[in-house]
Structure 1
């Protein structure tokens, strides 16, 4: 099914028919945006001069004259002075509560060295003497010899309190000796699930943990109160508004977390649309599934909250050799215990779970980073589709950091969405990753261009806080340049996988709308669509691509209301 091509044709036809027209010709405008470059959201050529908003809908798109016809004395007129206007950003894979909570913890994002990491942790501990635990994260594998930190770094600065810090991707953790002692972890401790207590050659725990083994320490960290979680979300929502994010698809959520968004919606504090993917695994019981089904049905068609998706974890990450690969890791010997990584659950168990959830009518997200995991996910989706005959389920594969050549065309054929994070391919964080993957697989790494050439539908996101930035602009910079903001490497990292600014914007706007089955109401700037609109400081279609990262959001219009504004 050539889904991406078909959708582009339909949207192009819609824009052609609607430009310069009004959804309701006699209705007056609440807001008029004039003298701008209004990007309709289809390609690099579909622009208008002005747009008008009535209530929470876009009423008219066209020339200044078209829009002024429906303005009156009560219309708020905003002169854009030629600035670019785009649909609101849709972060299609994010862990919003976790990221919002991180805003109150020690932040190690973008630390340049081990010394800077240690300084940030020490400063945070000094400023928060009442904190019973020092928690946070954002450290990168590339900053540490061997790719993982050890407890010795933390023991040197904090001896009186437990410390636990997550890697930037959330798949590894780092504890001090106090935390290890509290958890009862010694050289004799074993972890039988998907993950590892990292130990040195003598068998002593190093303080590093991989995947599920993190729960041995994380499970001891005191749970935040409901009000503390709500306050964290309020901070996160303000941050999202400042970055032009008007919709999110929340991955690995729970019914309890969903209730937090329900409360914020009820109080009028929710200034973004939320689609929830509930986390499901081998231990999920029928009672939990029934609750997810009830929420899915309750919020079907709701324009603020949706609950129609399920998330599975199928493997880990490249850096810690826990992603499932078809061939062995390039930096591991053949006699390593798991030279090709491993699946988070047996393939037959995963396949059965997918078929079961598919029959319940859910959309499915599957975390699959290694090329073997990607293939297993495609196989499971194909099996489910053949059984249920649901040909528009829009199941997704998350991350897809490596992929076999033979699997590229299967996305379009099966209607599976490629959900990816361009920020994960920042060349400044990729050294450990690239050594593990090896030169033979590098050409198909973060293969955005190859997937699009094979007619896959591309959906972009940040994976925050499992990323160095939540900012969509940073992601678009990476997608277009595959270079750091400092310009490294000069020719770009695997430059053949770069895509254009228009393609990247579509993946960050229309892509998410299509993924949540809402392409008819958002993701474009055409009459009748929801008024989720962002004004940017620079025209990323025209500027030097290496200056994209300098772009800022000047206005965020959500549901027809200005929720963030800086001076134009």
Structure 2
């Protein structure tokens, strides 16, 4: 816990678009024209990793960073001096993978604790069903599919608790669903009807007798289910701007208190236009406390043909000072927990299963070349080594055909398992590698799913050493609030142990530990390079804001 304690005790993140962070005092005084931070350690994140002792800011511009003596020539009577001796001054953190915007559409949905056990989740469901007798549908989030082993969760456990209302529970990764029998019946889903849609059939799990279990193992099945359910059950609660703001303002304030100044939202549950309207209104009212970059998500290859056009519509209709839609999000595979992450070799104990491949190599390559030629940035969910190779092959083709290095910024996200041969390709192809470092610890069930491959997960130090940019984010609300905290991610990324448990087992290999400096850089400078593209990356000179 030494790292976490030292960082918290002295952390003051710079909010370059609106003054300085709330951990300093007197920063709302309208009588002053600027501020001078004197003393402490100012992490500049420049190429030499310079640590300065003073920073002077006039208006919203940083005019000097360096030693205290030279800073004095920039001082005047109307500049407020703030003594920061013993404190750590950092650029604002950028969360490069989150779902924070759509995390609270229905504030009273059931939320499980991912570290509980199966009986705990069932008991929480029992209490919830009794507490909300008038709800027409039971929605929940946060169970761990790994707890159920290869068989996965079964609808019979839910039927015993609630059989008269649909029950739809998402796992803590948001990539599998656990539903009761009534949900399948309301959607008209049987083995016979699934035969009509072979592209989704494989993702409705079956037991040893071939019967449906109520476990949906991937987005193909999830979107198929929701397309078949009655509309009255799938429409989310209507929210106006103020009602939405009332729900999220405490969370947003908490994020600001952590030093977060910008957020990349990896998708808004397919409601990007709805949330775009709300966020634009909040920004114009001065209520958006950080910059947000959104995406247009594509989970089904049938939607590739209109993806660029839809992103452009979002960019045209929903853009403000602190909001823009900057990329197309492609979900290339599933998760290790559900055995749907795309692997080069089969999962342990199942020689027939190499996981999910939502887009064929051919379709993926065609689309990446097309989007890259149009100047569109791509952000791709890729957990397995096969999926990652396919994505890198597609980007390589696009780079070669379009000569696009330096003009588009493509990112692969999560990257639990990357083949050794593909590690140097991130730097070679100018591809950003994104991860959530708090996951870089031993996870029960991964060894059972992957065998010996579980000892070579998260090879981000190797990627950094090739010269590639590695960036970090929370994937909130996956695994609750803890991943939102940058210093928690920094601790686990550095130790490869569970947060706050220095005696816990180290995730192998040990040489994949990231340095604290690398982790800070991935939350600040390199994240800014992704967010605004390298041509405009002037903030490292401390002369302007992150945009």
Q: TM-score, normalised by structure 2?
A: 0.82
The answer on whether the counterparts of 1:52 and 1:61 sit within 8 Å (CA) in structure 2 is yes
What is the distance in 2 between the residues matched to 1:492 and 1:507? 20
What is the distance in 1 between the residues matched to 2:244 and 2:188? 29
User: Any gaps of 5 or more consecutive residues in structure 1?
Assistant: 1-26, 533-558, 560-568
> What residue is the counterpart of 2:19 in the other structure?
none
> What residue is the counterpart of 2:311 in the other structure?
292
The answer on whether the counterparts of 2:273 and 2:318 sit within 8 Å (CA) in structure 1 is no
> What residue is the counterpart of 1:543 in the other structure?
none
> What residue is the counterpart of 2:521 in the other structure?
506
The answer on whether the counterparts of 1:40 and 1:86 sit within 8 Å (CA) in structure 2 is yes
What is the distance in 2 between the residues matched to 1:143 and 1:43? 45
Q: How far did residue 148 of structure 1 move? A: 2.4
1:83 is aligned, of 81, 84, 87, to 87
> What residue is the counterpart of 1:365 in the other structure?
379
What is the distance in 2 between the residues matched to 1:493 and 1:102? 39
Which aligned pairs between 1:239-250 and structure 2 lie closer than 5 A?
239-250=254-265
What is the distance in 1 between the residues matched to 2:125 and 2:76? 56
SS state at 1:438 partner = helix
Which aligned pairs between 1:268-283 and structure 2 lie closer than 5 A?
268-280=286-298, 281-283=300-302
The answer on whether the counterparts of 1:483 and 1:492 sit within 8 Å (CA) in structure 2 is yes
Paired residue total: 498
> What residue is the counterpart of 1:223 in the other structure?
236
1:206 is aligned, of 209, 213, 225, to 213
SS state at 2:301 partner = coil
The answer on whether the counterparts of 1:322 and 1:342 sit within 8 Å (CA) in structure 2 is yes
Is the alpha carbon distance of 1:49 and 1:98 closer, same or farther for their aligned partners in structure 2, counting shifts above 3 Å? same
What is the distance in 1 between the residues matched to 2:119 and 2:409? 45
Q: How far did residue 44 of structure 1 move? A: 8.9
1:316 is aligned, of 313, 334, 343, to 334
What is the distance in 2 between the residues matched to 1:108 and 1:32? 45
> What residue is the counterpart of 1:516 in the other structure?
531
What is the distance in 1 between the residues matched to 2:361 and 2:107? 37
What is the distance in 2 between the residues matched to 1:44 and 1:108? 45
Query: Are positions 1:148 and 2:180 aligned together?
Result: no
Is the alpha carbon distance of 1:288 and 1:418 closer, same or farther for their aligned partners in structure 2, counting shifts above 3 Å? closer
Query: Are positions 1:115 and 2:119 aligned together?
Result: yes
What is the distance in 1 between the residues matched to 2:441 and 2:199? 31
Q: How far did residue 447 of structure 1 move? A: 0.5
Q: How far did residue 163 of structure 1 move? A: 2.1
The answer on whether the counterparts of 2:280 and 2:318 sit within 8 Å (CA) in structure 1 is no
| Root-mean-square deviation (Å) | 3.0
Higher relative contact order (CA 8 A, sep 6+): 1
Deviations 1:381-440 (A, max 9, x none): 11111221211112111111111111111111111111222233332xx2222322221x
Q: How far did residue 372 of structure 1 move? A: 0.9
Greater CA deviation, 284-293 or 239-248? Answer: 284-293
What is the distance in 2 between the residues matched to 1:96 and 1:329? 32
What is the distance in 1 between the residues matched to 2:108 and 2:136? 14
User: Any gaps of 5 or more consecutive residues in structure 2?
Assistant: 1-30, 228-232
1:54 is aligned, of 53, 58, 65, to 58
Q: How far did residue 286 of structure 1 move? A: 5.9
What is the distance in 2 between the residues matched to 1:519 and 1:29? 31
> What residue is the counterpart of 2:181 in the other structure?
177
Is the alpha carbon distance of 1:467 and 1:199 closer, same or farther for their aligned partners in structure 2, counting shifts above 3 Å? same
Q: How far did residue 166 of structure 1 move? A: 0.9
> What residue is the counterpart of 1:330 in the other structure?
348
Greater CA deviation, 503-512 or 123-132? Answer: 123-132
Q: How far did residue 287 of structure 1 move? A: 5.9
What is the distance in 2 between the residues matched to 1:330 and 1:126? 40
What is the distance in 2 between the residues matched to 1:322 and 1:96? 25
Is the alpha carbon distance of 1:162 and 1:50 closer, same or farther for their aligned partners in structure 2, counting shifts above 3 Å? farther
Deviations 1:19-61 (A, max 9, x none): xxxxxxxx97433333322211247952222323333332332
Deviations 1:60-98 (A, max 9, x none): 323445556545565454433412121111111222223
Deviations 1:310-351 (A, max 9, x none): 11122111221211111111231x3x3xx2123102111111
Deviations 1:208-264 (A, max 9, x none): 111121234445433221425555454542342233211112223534433332222
Is the alpha carbon distance of 1:201 and 1:520 closer, same or farther for their aligned partners in structure 2, counting shifts above 3 Å? same
SS state at 2:522 partner = helix
What is the distance in 2 between the residues matched to 1:402 and 1:360? 30
The answer on whether the counterparts of 2:301 and 2:358 sit within 8 Å (CA) in structure 1 is no
> What residue is the counterpart of 2:110 in the other structure?
106
Q: How far did residue 202 of structure 1 move? A: 3.1
> What residue is the counterpart of 2:17 in the other structure?
none
Query: Are positions 1:497 and 2:512 aligned together?
Result: yes
The answer on whether the counterparts of 2:296 and 2:307 sit within 8 Å (CA) in structure 1 is no
Q: How far did residue 306 of structure 1 move? A: 2.8
> What residue is the counterpart of 1:163 in the other structure?
167
SS state at 1:137 partner = strand
Is the alpha carbon distance of 1:415 and 1:289 closer, same or farther for their aligned partners in structure 2, counting shifts above 3 Å? closer
SS state at 2:394 partner = helix
Is the alpha carbon distance of 1:243 and 1:331 closer, same or farther for their aligned partners in structure 2, counting shifts above 3 Å? farther
Q: How far did residue 500 of structure 1 move? A: 0.8
Query: Are positions 1:473 and 2:496 aligned together?
Result: no
